Structure 1
């Protein structure tokens, strides 16, 4: 599967705001607000497309990929590149997550032109995502809670993408 990416634009952001995930993943549904739209367009988000030009998902880096309560627990003290991502709801669970996530990691490693330790923050109920990240070399680090949801940070200390 071939992907490409570019900075998120208003058309993609508007579509992503309408994505609807089914239980138990409805946690990832975004509110369709001006504030959320502004965040998607703040320059930290990238749209990811399949080779046919269809929007497949997105990723973000930096503070946009962090959960605020993690700062209180010291989850973001180590020097890492924080990465967040989302796939179009009807594509989740289809076996395409590994190639999608690998594309993101490869793109970021190339963009940074150096070896980077990547960090993800994932809700612990999302067993599919955690299994994928583990398969690609990520290890669980710090667990914390925000608004009744448990999260864990995961890093790739061996950085298999280099």
Structure 2
């Protein structure tokens, strides 16, 4: 099934921030878990043209953010609709995002950062060719958390 990427609207950002809730430890990824992330996500100027909503069969199934870190590197962030996570759909969703990134931004490298506890995601990223390049601690969600930066050569 095809994924359709469209620039995110304010209404879509508000819906995601207000209604998408993840279970258990994954509530770490709720948009309102970090005030700074929430502010960027809800502010159209800060969100700019970097955020896309992803549809499949006319249903919003996720979102992506794309930011050029430098001339060669595109940093991506994304989230799947909570009721779709853990059901084997992550690989197709991520492949669609990578294809979109490659055809629209033409990066030499694609990077992403993931919370170290999220072994399920790390396993998927490695399966699709990402490799760990850095570990770091980031202040977010009211604390300091271990993260892994991963990289894929374009």
Q: TM-score range by the shorter chain?
A: 0.7 to 0.9
What's the RMSD between the two structures over aligned residues? 2.2
Does structure 1 residue 101 correspond to structure 2 residue 99? Answer: no
Partner-residue secondary structure (3-state), 2:120: helix
Distance in 1 between residues matched to 2:71 and 2:88, nearest whole Å: 32
Distance in 1 between residues matched to 2:107 and 2:150, nearest whole Å: 17
Partner-residue secondary structure (3-state), 1:142: strand
Distance in 2 between residues matched to 1:7 and 1:131, nearest whole Å: 29
Does structure 1 residue 129 correspond to structure 2 residue 129? Answer: no
Distance in 2 between residues matched to 1:59 and 1:79, nearest whole Å: 19
What is the match of residue 146 of structure 2?
150
Q: Output aligned runs, 1:23-62, within 5 Å.
A: 23-31=24-32, 35=39, 36-38=41-43, 41-50=47-56, 52-62=57-67
Task: Evaluate the alpha carbon distance shift between residue 116 and residue 20 of structure 1 in structure 2; reply closer, same or farther with a 3 A threshold.
Answer: same
Higher helix share: 2
Partner-residue secondary structure (3-state), 1:21: coil
Distance in 2 between residues matched to 1:49 and 1:99, nearest whole Å: 13
User: Which segment drifts farther, 114-123 or 29-38?
Assistant: 29-38
Task: Evaluate the alpha carbon distance shift between residue 150 and residue 56 of structure 1 in structure 2; reply closer, same or farther with a 3 A threshold.
Answer: same
Residue from 124, 130, 147 that aligns with 1:138:
130
TM-score, L = length of structure 2: 0.84
Higher strand share: 2
Structure 1, unpaired ranges of 5+ = 64-75
CA contact (8 A) 1:10 1:41 kept: no
